[in-house]
Amino acid sequence: MPADGNTTPVPKPPAPTRVLSGIQPTGRFHWGNYFGAIRQYIDLQTADEAYYFIADLHALTTVREPDRLRALVHDAAVDLVSLGLDPDHATLFVQSDVPEVTELTWLLMTVTPMGLLERCHAYKDKKTRGLPADAGLFTYPVLMSADILAYDATVVPVGEDQVQHIEVCRDLAGTFNHLYGEVFTLPKPRLVEGGGRVPGTDGQKMSKSYDNTLDVFEDLAAQKKKIMRITTDSRPMEEPKNPDDDHLYVLYSLMAPEADRAKMADLYRRGGFGYGEVKKALVEASAQFFAEARARRAALEADPDRIEAILTAGAERARAKARDVLDRARRACGLTRGLTRGLTRGKAGKPGISGQPAGKSSGKGGRA
Ligand code: ATP
Ligand code: MG
């Protein structure tokens, strides 16, 4: 509605959708990671812009062996591309290749109340369990906020457990904007749907920490052994069962084509089948489901330069964007010396200073 009745509102052009998400390289990806997260990244990669990063700085709080970390980062990149992440659509990069993000973390840290971090569950959980927590874990939501804000992300696909951290990010961005002008774009969480809780071999949530995983790219013979050992209930074979109550069926239904899934559900309801049959069907269905990805993975492994080239190009694109946002933030809060001396550079390689008053200079106000 026009404010004074005289002006016709000009419709704002739709804001571009910028999707961002990071995944920690703390172990090989399992079916829970794929159905709970990676599949959604791939679905969303055709947004206006999509940024996906391998969160090696976050992983440093848990992976303390340098060689292992290096290998995990490489494997994560190969796995993601093999699973369908397309570097022509999405910018895929390694978090530590964009040092602008750690500088942005500091700027945000100066507006972060301690109490806010004390309420964050990753830290609280560890403390409640009496485990030692380092400052890295404590301040992890601030690094995560910088990860998001550095790319002007508008949409962050997350699981339920990460919604709190997006709220922290919005809080910090809001405070900074309030103090210094409209610098940051406030992101929105997008809850990932389906595969919300993939069960592990023991029926609990599949998780690296519970040692109950089936990994996306593990050796098929080893995986078959694991599947054949999955614990099942001990009710007699002939008793009809509800398929949705059985973790074996839940896993099968994620992989099997619709018609096979319906047939299997019917078998459960009628009774008179053996879990051995379901396990064999699951072995086959999962081999089929990931067959193409396995083939792509084999090709990528044989061509290590290709993955390097993808990550290098991704880092360049990501850095250019983060550089812009960081310059905006530096200018806004008065850190302009580096900008004037050309230590940090704005767009097109020009020194980033504009000479305008702090925080009001970008002409990109009204971020939400
Ligand atoms: P950890 O045990 O160290 O927490 P994890 O196996 O739970 O590891 P994360 O690295 O925490 O894996 O999760 C990466 C992504 O995969 C997150 O988006 C998370 O929501 C999703 N995810 C992990 N496990 C499952 C699962 N069992 N079902 C659905 N999504 C999952
Ligand atoms: Mg987890």
| pLDDT at residue 279 tops 90 | yes
Q: Taking residues 30-55, what's their average pLDDT?
A: 94
| pLDDT at residue 23 tops 60 | yes
Cα separation, 193 vs 184, in Å, equals 27
Q: How confident is the model at residue 197 (pLDDT cuts 50, 70, 90)?
A: confident
Could you write out the three-class secondary structure of 61-119? CCCCCHHHHHHHHHHHHHHHHHCCCCCCCCEEEEHHHCCHHHHHHHHHHCCCCHHHHHC
> How confident is the model at residue 352, as a pLDDT?
39
Verify whether residue 12 is a known catalytic residue.
no
225 in contact with ligand 1, CB cutoff 6 A? no
> How confident is the model at residue 341, as a pLDDT?
65
Ligand 1, atom 6: closest residue by C-alpha: 207
Report the separation in Å between the CA atom of 80 and the middle of ligand 1, taken as the mean of its atom positions.
15
| pLDDT at residue 196 tops 80 | no
Nearest Cα to Cα of residue 365 among 194, 323, 357, 259: 357
Q: Please name which ligand lies nearest the alpha carbon of 191.
A: 1
Mean pLDDT of the chain: 89
177 in contact with ligand 1, CB cutoff 6 A? no
Q: Which residue has the higher pLDDT, 221 or 272?
A: 221
Verify whether residue 205 is a known catalytic residue.
yes
> How confident is the model at residue 126, as a pLDDT?
86
| pLDDT at residue 359 tops 60 | no
Q: How confident is the model at residue 81 (pLDDT cuts 50, 70, 90)?
A: very high
**Catalytically annotated residue among 12, 124, 127, 208:** 208
**Catalytically annotated residue among 127, 205, 226, 280:** 205
Summarised one tens digit per residue, pLDDT across range 293-350 is 999 999 999 998 999 999 999 999 999 999 999 999 999 999 998 776 666 554 444 4
DSSP alpha helix (H) spans, the chain = 31-33, 39-44, 56-59, 66-82, 100-109, 114-118, 121-128, 135-138, 140-149, 163-180, 220-228, 247-255, 258-270, 275-289, 291-301, 304-333, 337-340
Q: Taking residues 278-288, what's their average pLDDT?
A: 97
175 in contact with ligand 1, CB cutoff 6 A? no
pTM, full prediction:
0.88
Q: Taking residues 192-215, what's their average pLDDT?
A: 87
22 in contact with ligand 1, CB cutoff 6 A? no
Verify whether residue 124 is a known catalytic residue.
no
> How confident is the model at residue 273, as a pLDDT?
82
Summarised one tens digit per residue, pLDDT across range 305-316 is 999 999 999 999
| pLDDT at residue 131 tops 60 | yes
**Catalytically annotated residue among 126, 127, 226, 364:** 126
> How confident is the model at residue 296, as a pLDDT?
98
| pLDDT at residue 35 tops 70 | yes
Percent of the chain beyond pLDDT 70? 89
